[in-house]
Amino acid sequence: MTSLIKSVQDIKNVIAESERPLALVPTMGSLHEGHISLIKAAKNECRTTIVYIFVNPLQFGPNEDFNEYPRNITGDLKICEENNVDFVFAPEAGEIYPDIENAKKNPITPPDKLRNILCGRTRQNHFSGVATVIKRFLDIVEPDFIYFGEKDLQQLHVIKWLIKEFNLPVTLKSCPTARESTGLAYSSRNKYLTHEQEVIAANLYKSLKLAKGNTRSGMFSINKSILESLIFLSPFPEIKIEYFEARDKTNLDKVADDAKHGFYYLIAARIGKIRLIDNIEVT
């Protein structure tokens, strides 16, 4: 039986009575198979699992989709119930940010080389917002393990930095990207795609696989592989590419053009108003 908890005091009370190890699965709700894969990993490794659902105002820019972001607490609770989650922690913003203006003015700011690359170039303050909210939840819940998806690779690196920077007593667990049968990565925003857009969106992952194949076979350098993938995507004018880059696996630095492994290809693109991201590891 999953219990819904809304206040910081109540979650602290139930945690004090809960068995450890304790898992925290951070989400913004509108749960899908990607989130479920994190929940399953947590259930596998921990005695108590808490899923938090919180659409974090600090990580959305003024022109982004904070108000439109899909919210579905009833459906989320059902999914958590089906997956034997112990607690869903779904606080109001005031619980997490008693003084939100101060939190906005003084966020936790990851280093520029992590924050201002890839998604950070167009989503200003996004990763400061992410670091700030995760630190708040970690301070409240004090879990033993925290679970994140590799789909949001840059976020994963920001959390890695956060844990090291503040010497936090938690182990970071990362889970592979869960995908539709078409290869499209599950995302809460997918529900805003029309069927036609969803079919087109599946080409993002195809373009990543193509780049990986071209590099691994030794056929093309990294830059040429990216170019080939951009050519592959060019018959789809609906796909507006924001970036297609190769980045080092350990620190997200740029990689040499002749690197053959140890990096990721990452893509961000808009289809209509919906912004999608994905990546693939080149092993």
Residues 169-198 that bind ligand AMP (CB under 6 A): 175, 177-178, 185-188
Which CB sits closer to ligand AMP, 183 or 272? 183
Which CB sits closer to ligand AMP, 60 or 97? 60
Q: Which of 216, 191, 202, 208 is nearest to 243 (CA)?
A: 208
Which one from 35, 126, 195, 261 is the annotated catalytic residue? 35
Q: Which stretch of DSSP H or E encloses residue 128?
A: helix 126-141
Tallying the residues shown for the chain, one arrives at: 283
CB of 251 to ligand AMP, least distance (A): 19
CB of 152 to ligand AMP, least distance (A): 4
32 is catalytic: no
Number of residues that bind ligand AMP (CB under 6 A): 18
What is each CA distance from 207 to 45, 149, 194, 272, in whole angstroms?
34, 20, 21, 19
Using CA atoms, how far apart are residues 249 and 262, in angstroms rounded to an integer? 6
Binding to ligand AMP by CB under 6 A, coded x per residue (else -) over 7-26, reads -------------------x
Does 28 participate in binding ligand AMP (rule CB under 6 A)? yes
CB of 26 to ligand AMP, least distance (A): 6
Does 38 participate in binding ligand AMP (rule CB under 6 A)? yes
Does 277 participate in binding ligand AMP (rule CB under 6 A)? no
Using CA atoms, how far apart are residues 60 and 67, in angstroms rounded to an integer? 10
Residues 65-124 that bind ligand AMP (CB under 6 A): none
Which CB sits closer to ligand AMP, 28 or 168? 28
Please say whether the dihedral angle defined by the alpha carbons of residues 244, 249, 252 and 258, taken in this order, is positive or negative: negative
Does 35 participate in binding ligand AMP (rule CB under 6 A)? yes
Q: Is 213 exposed, middle or buried (0-12, 13-18, 19+ CB in 10 A)?
A: middle
Residues 129-148 that bind ligand AMP (CB under 6 A): 148
Q: Which of 282, 283, 278 is nearest to 34 (CA)?
A: 278
Which CB sits closer to ligand AMP, 38 or 90? 38
Does 127 participate in binding ligand AMP (rule CB under 6 A)? no
Q: Which of 9, 176, 14, 178 is nearest to 95 (CA)?
A: 9
What is each CA distance from 15 to 3, 18, 69, 89, 171, in whole angstroms?
12, 5, 29, 11, 18
Which CB sits closer to ligand AMP, 30 or 229? 30
CB of 37 to ligand AMP, least distance (A): 5
Does 205 participate in binding ligand AMP (rule CB under 6 A)? no
Which CB sits closer to ligand AMP, 107 or 129? 129
Give the long-range contacts of residues 78-82, CB within 8 A, separation 24 or more.
79/31, 79/35, 79/36, 80/2, 80/31, 80/39, 80/51, 81/1, 81/2
- Report the interface residues with ligand AMP, using CB under 6 A: 26-28, 34-35, 37-38, 148-149, 151-152, 175, 177-178, 185-188
Q: Return the active site residues.
A: 35
